[in-house]
Amino acid sequence: MRLKYYFSFLVFLLSIPFSYGQVLNKQKMLDRFTFWENKDWNWYKENIPFLETPDKDIDMTYYYRWDMMTIHLVYGSPASGYTVTEFIDRPWWSGTYGAISCSVSQHLYDMRWMRDQHYVKDYAKYWFYTPGAQPRTYSTWLADAIWQLYKVNYDRKLVTGLKDSLVTNFAGWEKEHWNEKEGLFAWSGMHDGMETNINSRQTPQWFEGASGFRPTLNSYMWADANAISSIAALTGDNSTQLTFSKKADLIKTNYLKKGWNTEKNFFMHKFEKDEEGGIKANTFTYETGKYAGNPHGREEIGFVPWYFNMPDNNAGFETAWKFLMDPSYFYSPYGPTTVEKGDPLYMVAKNCCAWSGNAWPFATAQTLTAMANVVRNYKQDFVSKADYNKQLQIYARTHRKDGKPYIAEANEPETGSWSGHDVIGHSEHYNHSSYVDQVVTGLMGLEPMDADSLTVNPLIPDGWAYACLDDVIYHGNKISIIWDKTGLKYNKGKGLSVYINGELKASSGIIKKLVFPVQAKTVAEPEKLVNYAVNNEKGEFYPRASASFPGSGGDVEAKLNDGQYWYVKPTTNRWSSVYAKGLKSWTEIDFGGGRPVKEVKIYFVDDSAARIKAPVSYTLEYWNGKSWAVIPGQERVFNNAQTRKANAIRFPLLTVSKIRVQLTSAAAAAVSISEIEAWGPLQSGLTTTAAPENTNMAFRDVATFSASYYSKFDEPGAINDGFKDPNARWTAYLSPNPTDWVAFKLNKQKMVKEVRMYVFDDHGGTQPPLNYTVEYWNGKTWQPTRQTVKMPLKPVAHLNLCQFTPVKTDQIRIVVTHPNPAKKVFSGFYEIELY
């Protein structure tokens, strides 16, 4: 009864148009746009600050970035919680659960504004507590980002708990990249995430060469040293505080002295050692080598030191900013460019990835934050508030493809096109930058502090009649920043107003800097539940997702519990019943042992092109030890299944070993689920039963694999290793044959009636075959299977299901016809199963 009352009260609260101190109607703000992929309105209302300005592009991109964030949130495991991906396909070079350190700091800067802090806290801890995380694969300002998070949430326990890990991580940077002679850090541009740049291209290692003293890494490490010093101060660790304060001073002194090119008035890359072609150590770009004496060589990274307010004020460094808004240098309609335009190596690449001219959102975001700092904090007249807003508007408009919100790796700076830089299945909706923080701290001027105070210093254009940032959580308080020129838009007074918990705290008739005290509030955190359904562990059988129909293409069972849900196309993340017979189907999570669960969330998918609709009905069941039974005491957020939302079902805590969702499809339609989550309190000492015997007759323990051709680039043994991992596969790449085969010799004769083929597709040299045939060995010759049914009929990437009249045999082979050998396009598989 108590759970039922709580649930009903929660639904009531969510139904109220306005909550305490709220200015904007949240549903109205969401309804302004039609681009939404994730339509879980409750998630947005519970998690994000809301924004309204006269600039629809800025607003649309702001909400799109939150929508995009939900694509990249990954629940890794009950032990680690949430992490965040950069690419949607979790490429081979990513760390555990797909995270890559290159953009972690920009992620954290944006995520610190989320109301539910579980996401960002998990992500901050992931880098130090999760085996296989890679915090130093790329340069980043991780300690600084965690410190900036503290300035928002005032969570002393989090940052002080990470202090020792941050100190150890900094020591790793020093061991790997500190140049003692110069007193600076050195690394290559590629490890800034900025490969194929104008410095590396002067060396034989054009992709990753040219180690140097760069404005990026040295600024990052200066900021990290300051952050660690500040965190140490919170704990009274005077020794660590002083040590890292001195480290920061040394980095700053040396870099401002050695990294500033007085002739070109810019912070520039300086080579660490001699390079081929006459490049000398300790010389700037184009100071020596083939282009010695060339007046160019400026890269957008030269603005990075201001991201952290590192350069001294009024010391002449501000002259660098005269190049940003000049069309002869960095300014472009969809820029800035990453290299000044007159450079001899300036190049706008047609395909990914080059940092020699294309505009990259990663760099644009850095430049915008740096620019906001310069406008506010430095005495100069090179860039203005109007310039900042012009660049922010460009950045917002760049987030478009075919008129809809979108972002990929890099864009053409004159046209804004993402062509060649938005690889399907890889860099769609690319999460390698920030935007939310530029709006919150830059445009709306909310500058978080590490004290009981707040600075609001907006860069709102003078011509705007209104702007509002609402429902921001700061030090446990609810903040609203309002600009209302006439006072008639929001009826909260004329001019600039700041409300805290619904009460007016500060105001001004004009847009100006406001500083005022804010008493931090301690907010009791809700009970932290863990998702017991997820399985991202390679080699772990449980928890196991299964279904009445295995799926097809990318719509496979493993997607049901991979910790991620999204609804974008063409790259999907779901299981579906497309090609299944009948209207009834089911999906199941087998935990491998009893788990305490009190809430299940089901993320249903709709897709008109694939005839996928919400089920007309569904039931949630559990295995009671003898049979399937409906979970008692269920309360649903939605009475009927809703697509693109979390269909939450809550019930009194129940120990379950398996759960099943029984589904009834609409007539002539399939059903699809992106994710099933099972939430409950974390308990230690839970046991898991042994995995059952593998029934896949092609598994390497019971079958031997062979092929007509083996590519030197692949791992042919991966084809039957039991792991459906596209990064480990067999392909026929560069085969001399128009057709090739793969075969499996079973350990004895068995009855076979189904083949599941997981086709590899890199959208380049390996793509789905034009056709395939399944054959069996009859003791004398290879024979084609009979009454063969292919699902789908034409081969596609990922799962292809082939069923046929059962045959008793000890050998099965699949013969593929390659897509286009003349153009070096062949076929491949990353797993094959026989049943």
Query: How do residues 351-407 score in pLDDT, each as one tens digit?
Result: 999 999 999 999 999 999 999 999 999 999 999 999 999 999 999 999 999 999 999
Judge whether residue 642 has pLDDT over 50. yes
C-alpha dist (Å) from residue 566 to 22, 291, 609: 29, 48, 17
Whole-number pLDDT of residue 1? 34
Cβ atoms within 10 Å, residue 309: 15
Q: Evaluate whether 219 touches 307 at the Cβ level (below 8 Å).
A: yes
Structure tokens at 189: 């541009």
pLDDT band at 20 (very low <50, low <70, confident <90, very high): low
Whole-number pLDDT of residue 69? 98
Whole-number pLDDT of residue 19? 59
- How far apart CA 381 and CA 806 sit, in angstroms, is 80
Q: Evaluate whether 214 touches 261 at the Cβ level (below 8 Å).
A: no
Structure tokens at 564: 């991620």
Work out the average pLDDT over 275-297. Answer: 97
The continuous run of DSSP H or E covering 457 comes out as none
C-alpha dist (Å) from residue 309 to 123, 239, 306, 371, 376: 26, 25, 4, 10, 10
* DSSP state for residue 560 in the 8-state scheme: G
Average pLDDT, the chain: 96
Q: Evaluate whether 672 touches 576 at the Cβ level (below 8 Å).
A: yes
Q: Evaluate whether 660 touches 623 at the Cβ level (below 8 Å).
A: yes
Work out the average pLDDT over 175-202. Answer: 98
* DSSP state for residue 42 in the 8-state scheme: H
Work out the average pLDDT over 606-626. Answer: 97
Work out the average pLDDT over 97-126. Answer: 98
HEC secondary structure over 79-120: CCEEEECCCCCCCCCCCHHHCCHHHHHHHHHHHCCCCCCHHH
Whole-number pLDDT of residue 15? 39
* 88: nearest Cα among 73, 66, 106, 103: 73
Judge whether residue 34 has pLDDT over 70. yes
Judge whether residue 778 has pLDDT over 70. yes
C-alpha dist (Å) from residue 248 to 90, 105, 219, 232: 35, 19, 10, 14
C-alpha dist (Å) from residue 617 to 11, 612, 620, 627, 660: 21, 14, 10, 21, 14
Judge whether residue 161 has pLDDT over 70. yes
Spatial neighbors of 205 by CB under 8 A, at least 6 apart, are none
Whole-number pLDDT of residue 538? 87
Left if phi > 0, otherwise alpha if psi is -120 to 50, otherwise beta: which for 798? Answer: left
Judge whether residue 3 has pLDDT over 50. no
Indicate the range of 6-10, 212-216, 546-550 predicted with least confidence. Answer: 6-10
Give tens-digit pLDDT for 51-66: 999 999 999 999 999 9
Q: Evaluate whether 111 touches 123 at the Cβ level (below 8 Å).
A: yes
Length of the chain: 835
Judge whether residue 5 has pLDDT over 60. no
Give tens-digit pLDDT for 327-336: 999 999 999 9
Q: How many CA atoms lie within 13 A of 307 on its CB side?
A: 34
* 527: nearest Cα among 6, 5, 1, 112: 6
How remote is the C-alpha of 429 from its chain's centroid?
Answer: 9
What is the crossing angle of helices 215-234 and 142-153, to 10°? Answer: 40
Whole-number pLDDT of residue 524? 81
| DSSP per-residue string spanning 745-759 | EEEEEEEEEEEEEEE
- How far apart CA 513 and CA 638 sit, in angstroms, is 45
The residues facing 622 across adjacent strands are 629, 659
Judge whether residue 689 has pLDDT over 60. yes
Structure tokens at 538: 């390679």
Whole-number pLDDT of residue 523? 79
pLDDT band at 479 (very low <50, low <70, confident <90, very high): very high
Work out the average pLDDT over 722-733. Answer: 94
Give tens-digit pLDDT for 729-777: 999 999 999 999 999 999 999 999 999 999 999 999 999 999 999 999 9
Whole-number pLDDT of residue 302? 98
Q: Evaluate whether 128 touches 135 at the Cβ level (below 8 Å).
A: yes
By three-state DSSP, how is residue 516 classified? strand
- How far apart CA 467 and CA 625 sit, in angstroms, is 58
Judge whether residue 6 has pLDDT over 70. no
Whole-number pLDDT of residue 246? 98
Whole-number pLDDT of residue 17? 41
Indicate the range of 191-200, 404-413, 522-531 predicted with least confidence. Answer: 522-531
- How far apart CA 497 and CA 506 sit, in angstroms, is 6
12 vs 800 pLDDT, higher one: 800
AA identity, residue 659: I
Whole-number pLDDT of residue 525? 79
Cβ atoms within 10 Å, residue 630: 11
Whole-number pLDDT of residue 21? 73
pLDDT band at 9 (very low <50, low <70, confident <90, very high): very low
16 vs 364 pLDDT, higher one: 364
Spatial neighbors of 241 by CB under 8 A, at least 6 apart, are 229, 230, 232, 233
